[in-house]
Chains A and B, each alone.
Chain A
Amino acid sequence: MGATEFLTRELRDRARALVFWCVGGAAYVAMIASIFPSIEGSPQLDQLVQDYPEALKSLFGIGGVNLTTGAGYIDTELFNIILPLLVIVLAIGSGSRTLAGEEEAGRLELPFSYPVRRRDSVVAKGLGVAGEIAALCLAIFLVLAVLSPIFGLNLPMGHLAGAVMGLALLGLLHGWLSLGVGAARPGRGLAIAIPAGFAALGYLIGGLHELAGWLDPFRFISSFWWVGQSPLTNGVELARLLVVLAASVVALGAAAVLIERRDLQVP
């Protein structure tokens, strides 16, 4: 009852779209995994890639991983850019729609006239967004766990679990940041632009801070740096993931506080 209805609503309304996200994401992951056997047998590809300019390798996380191992291949092809992009797009899309988008469409006016605290509503919506991210990440995890032995990827399961957790936290941070921006100011545009800009900046800093020394002091604001590159090859550090989780919780907490402090807009 009460505010949990916003969580129910978010998950039910999004169930259909979420199935497409999960099926599409899983299909892409499966396709990439299925190509591995033909890469494995061609070490010259790895050589070719290692000749790329340093900046490019660093940005795409190709430096320091071996493309002919399953972990290095999946890191490069999926975990270093494509999957974070996928999960963050889902997260920002949902985080901005569920509050700022609904407000812009005038659909918060009636539910917010019910005896429910705004902050509880926003937290419930945040949990809904988290549920969506969890579903997509679970689908990715399951596909890789099942296909790893079949296509000879030999992914270490602990690293895979850590990598997917890092992925989910990247989504969570940007999704809840989007909710926070939407809570601070009305309008979906900013609720998309600010977390998207934060993600792009974080990605660039995370990829280039070692090469461009002047970026190095800023690495702490990069969520990608905290999660770490090539998680299947290198593993993830739990403590650093907890930092990202803490930042996410701060973003959601800020959303809950900020939504109480302003006037709601009607179109």
Chain B
Amino acid sequence: MADAPAIETRGLSKTYSNGVEALVDLDLRVERGEVLGYLGPNGAGKSTTIRCLLDQIRPTAGSGSILGFDTRTQSVEARRHLGYLPGDARLADKLTGREQLDSFARLRGGVDDALRRELEQRFDCVLDRPIRELSKGNRQKLGIVQAFMHRPEVLILDEPTGGLDPLVQNEFRALARETAADERTVFLSSHSLDEVQHIADRVGIIRGGRLIDVDSVDSLRERALRHVTIHFAEPVDATAFASLDGVRVEGSEGPIVRLQAPETAMDAVVKTAARHRIVDLVSQPADLEEIFLELYRETDGGD
């Protein structure tokens, strides 16, 4: 068990009773001390994966393990080493934040009280008001504390930063990085590459219940296409750009040229553009959906 990966799934599949294939033959391995971003659009199967790992739903085929503990047959042992934070933590509305955390601590069978207080202060938690009076962000902060307060070996965080203001999001990212530096593991699901790219070492991309790709953040970013719009002082011929490696011309009207280019081609794009007088140049990162499409194209091409 000592050398078992933090999280591993083998052929994990889930078909719901209504016939929806939420997860198809998922093989995933998350190493200890790693932050893995688990990316996919809504409904891709991210939460289904997580809920299988938590033994809240049962896979129709395949298996999973946390620190070597089978998520079905040794689920309680697996969950002992686990902290979980759902995207929209539903807490006991009538309790105050403190009472809720007390309750979770007892349910856990004891937590690190000093760590709990440190986290409460770090996230500036509202502890003395009933949870029903708290904003979504303040509830989520309580959710963060309960997930981390027993110093778990593995953290599973399902779209954790929804509702948090940017300052708290930064604090949360710092906490996730510290956790990984402490040789513990963070599994972070999100639909936004932005949310994970500064924390994660690797990114797994899931779509339609299938794991499309697992890659380092850096190489993913290199492959991600940018939308580049260049406004020249006078009309130019766009064919010079089309011949650059990986670059596609989306359109050109008079002095304006619109391109798609991977990060690796940006240098060539700028140098080609610099032969003319430039009024403006805008480069926007492609959103995740486009990266998926790009990955799909690659996958199809490879088959």
Binding site for B on A (CB under 8 A): 1-3, 5-6, 8-9, 13, 105-107, 109-117, 263-264, 266
Contacts and interface: CB of A to CB of B under 8 A. Distances in A.
A264 B106 contact: no
Given A263-B56, A264-B56, A8 B89 contact: no
B58 interface: yes
Given A105-B90, A263-B57, A113 B109 contact: no
B107 A107 contact: no
A9 B108 CA distance: 14
Interface of B: 47, 51, 54, 56-58, 76-77, 79-80, 82, 84, 86, 88-92, 94-95, 103-104, 106-110, 143, 146
A5 B95 CA distance: 14
Contacts, number: 66
B84 A110 contact: yes
A5 B86 contact: no
B57 A111 contact: no
19 contacts: A1-B106, A1-B107, A1-B109, A1-B110, A2-B107, A13-B92, A106-B90, A107-B92, A109-B56, A110-B89, A110-B143, A110-B146, A113-B82, A113-B84, A114-B104, A116-B76, A263-B58, A264-B51, A264-B57
B94 A13 contact: yes
B25 to A, nearest CB: 19
Contact of B106 (A5, A105, A117, A266): A5
Contacts of B103: 5, 8-9
Contact of B91 (A6, A8, A110, A116): A110
Nearest to A112: B56
A9 B92 contact: yes
Contacts of A2: 107, 109
A106 B51 CA distance: 13
B76 A109 contact: no
Contacts of B56: 109, 112-113, 263-264
A5 B99 CA distance: 12
A114 B149 CA distance: 13
A106 B108 CA distance: 19
A16 to B, nearest CB: 9
